[in-house]
A and B are shown apart, each in its own frame.
Chain A
Amino acid sequence: MKRAGFDNIWLPVALLLPQLMIIAIFFYWPAGWALQSSFYLQDPFGFGSTFVGGENYTSLVGNDQYKRVAGFTIIYSVLVTFFSLAIALLLAVKADKVIRGAKTYRTLLMWVYAIAPPVAGFMGILFFDQSTGPLTKFFQMFGWDFKLGVDYNATATAMVIVAVWKQIPVNFIFFLSGLQSIPRSVREATMIDNRSATGRFWQVTFPLLAPTAFFLLIINITYALFDTFGIIDALMKGEPGNNPMTLVYKVYLDGFRGNDLGGSSAQSVILMVLVLLLTVFQFRLVERRIHYT
């Protein structure tokens, strides 16, 4: 709050009201409802529900399919996060160095940000087409009979590649702006102190970039968990079958196609807790960043 705030009472209430109402109706009510229904078993025909306590949760823990989805989600998140961060960092470091064409490179490397995930997924379908896809042929050269939508590993690979491709721009933008915010004087001091460019990068630039990287780490995990829904849905062409999927996709599948309201709600709650932990972790990092920079 500002030092000399206005003393008015009704105006701020009126200003806050729309936001609070929308949040109450579309956030708190649904979230509370999810929590509640995660303890109930819904009648399959929609005639009421029975309280079952933690049964929805325990049955998830014992469910092999759920474990498999959870396992895939972890591997998927790690791969997507790692590759998109690594490639973006490399590109950002180079883009920060060059003088000629810097602006053009920036534009070319970031515009994919604006492409919708399912549209990216749809392009992926053509690249990974079973008979004509260029990337399918590429993998076949190594003796891998790559069948999108049939072979579990093939579909998983395609999902990771498209998801990484789609996420590079965001990471690139943040890394580049992080690099550009390193003061000129610090760079010049480093140039005098250390003659090896690689040494300079790992000893000075990278530590100064660490806050950005930590922040991006969270952003990327969140992205892999939630925002890749469209990519996954497009690549499996809406047919889950034997295909890999993430936890969010399973929430959608069980809730909307399987009509397992209680189970889906319990999954939602688990995801909420997961995100909550991530965010708390992030807030602590942000706080630290405020203190030290």
Chain B
Amino acid sequence: MAQVSLEGIRKVYPNGFQAVQTTSFTIQDGEFVVLVGPSGCGKSTLLRMIAGLEEITEGELKIGDRVVNDVDPADRDIAMVFQNYALYPHMTVRKNIGYGLKNRGTPASEIAAKVEDAARMLNLTEYLDRKPAQLSGGQRQRVAMGRAVVRDPALFLFDEPLSNLDAKLRNQMRIEIKALQRRLGTTAVYVTHDQVEAMTMADRIIVLNAGRIEQIGTPSEIYHNPASTFVASFMGAPPMNLIRAEVDQKQVKINGYDALMVASEAFSGPITMGIRPEDVELDAQGQVKFHVDILEELGAHRLLHGRIDDQPFSVMIGKEDTAHTGETRIKLKPEALRLFDKDTGLRL
């Protein structure tokens, strides 16, 4: 078990491309941290630097109390689960799981016992003598997990491990991985581009964009108090509504409507205003006119997609509420409004 700390870590590729800008954060012992962001945001590079598969250009990486910048991946006491699993296709499941132990000179009897344990934990016992090609996607995923678990490492690294599975299996494995990590209490760093995975699995989420950390926080913090318009629109499905608004004498207004809330006097002028679709209600007496274009039925609730003036806007309503396309009025909960700088996108 170990805490991981990154201090001033930076990655510049030989061609001059800066994949990760100077970054510092600490992952607590036993914590499940998810790195999330769109493709090319540097999340995988960050993970691979922690794994030792990518050289660190600048900064200091510690796993436990040890600086591991120049330590070989094999000696960092980590285990990694890859997106395509990277199982050795010519080895049986048993050999796949035991290979890392064998390379460390673990006695054969001990390997056998540990592999059996890991297999039992992952429901793989009956597949131990099969080759990866004879397994389903979910089973392969489990073998990859087994390979990580069996070594009892200080740190788990997951590189989009669920993205090759179908939706149903993904939901199931999400829960299994989380439960396993809880049970073992091993620190974990998990990379994904799927914000649902990030929200459901993480103790803390790190949102990355263009090689930079946008926000670090618990899922709830990230969801309710996004630090920027990027986080607001990236996290949550459907994303937070972002529309143009104006602050005039401490009053937040959308063009042509009454004041929605009171803002501090620190700023005035045009801003970007954000609100989650579930924080909006249909209300015949509401302040704002909303034109519904499409009604999306999701079972548990419904989404209305439409416009406020010319700006796209979505509203979530319960399954009992009635709705129809065309002109209607809505009410925005004042306490749910979030204000962002119009240019930088940062939270005001």
Cα(A81)–Cα(B53), bound, Å: 50
Least CB distance, B54 to chain A, in whole angstroms: 7
**Residues on the A chain within 8 Å of B54, using CB:** 4
Residues on B with beta carbons closer than 8 Å to the beta carbon of A3: 53
Give the CA-CA distance A292 to B23 in the complex, in Å: 40
Interface size class of A (residues with CB under 8 A): under 10
Q: Map CB proximity to B onto A1-15 as digits: 1 under 8 Å, 0 otherwise.
A: 001100000000000
CA distance A4 to B49 in the complex (A): 11
A3 and B45 alpha carbons, distance in the complex (Å) = 12
With both chains docked as a complex, state the minimum distance between the C-beta of A8 and any C-beta of chain B, in angstroms: 11
Distance in Å: Cβ of B233 to nearest Cβ of chain A: 31
Complex CA gap A3/B54 in Å reads 9
Map CB proximity to B onto A96-115 as digits: 1 under 8 Å, 0 otherwise.
00000000000000000000
Which residues, 1 to 42 on A, are CB-close (under 8 Å) to B? 3-4
- Interface bits B43-58 vs A (CB < 8 Å: 1, else 0): 0000010000110000
Report A-chain residues with C-beta under 8 Å of the C-beta of B48: 4
Hey, what's the 0/1 contact readout for B124-157 against A, CB within 8 Å counting as 1? 0000000000000000000000000000000000
Docked complex Cα distance between A3 and B19 (Å)? 15
Residue of A nearest to B53 (CB): A4
Contacting residues of chain B (40-78) with chain A, CB-CB under 8 angstroms: 48, 53-54
**B53 to chain A: which residues have CB within 8 Å?**
3-4
Closest A residue, CB atoms, query B72: A7
Binary interface profile of B, 150-173, with partner A (CB < 8 Å = 1, else 0)? 000000000000000000000000
A199 vs B82: C-alpha distance in the bound complex, in angstroms? 48
CB closest residue in chain A, given B73: A4
CB-defined interface of A155-187 with B at 8 Å, one 1/0 digit per residue?
000000000000000000000000000000000
CB 8 Å contact bits of A237-273 with B (1 = contact, 0 = none): 0000000000000000000000000000000000000
A4: nearest chain-B partner, CB-CB? B53
Measured between alpha carbons, how far is A4 from B54 in the docked complex, in Å? 7
The minimal Cβ–Cβ distance linking B155 to chain A, given in whole angstroms, is 18
CB contacts (< 8 Å) of A4 on chain B: these are 48, 53-54
Nearest opposing residue in chain A for B52, CB measure:
A4
Tell me the bound Cα distance from A139 to B53 in angstroms.
Answer: 71
Complex Cα gap A32–B53 (Å): 43
Residues of B within 8 A of A (CB): 48, 53-54
4 closest A-B pairs by CB: A4-B53, A4-B54, A3-B53, A4-B48
4 pairs from A and B in contact (CB 8 Å cutoff): A3-B53, A4-B48, A4-B53, A4-B54
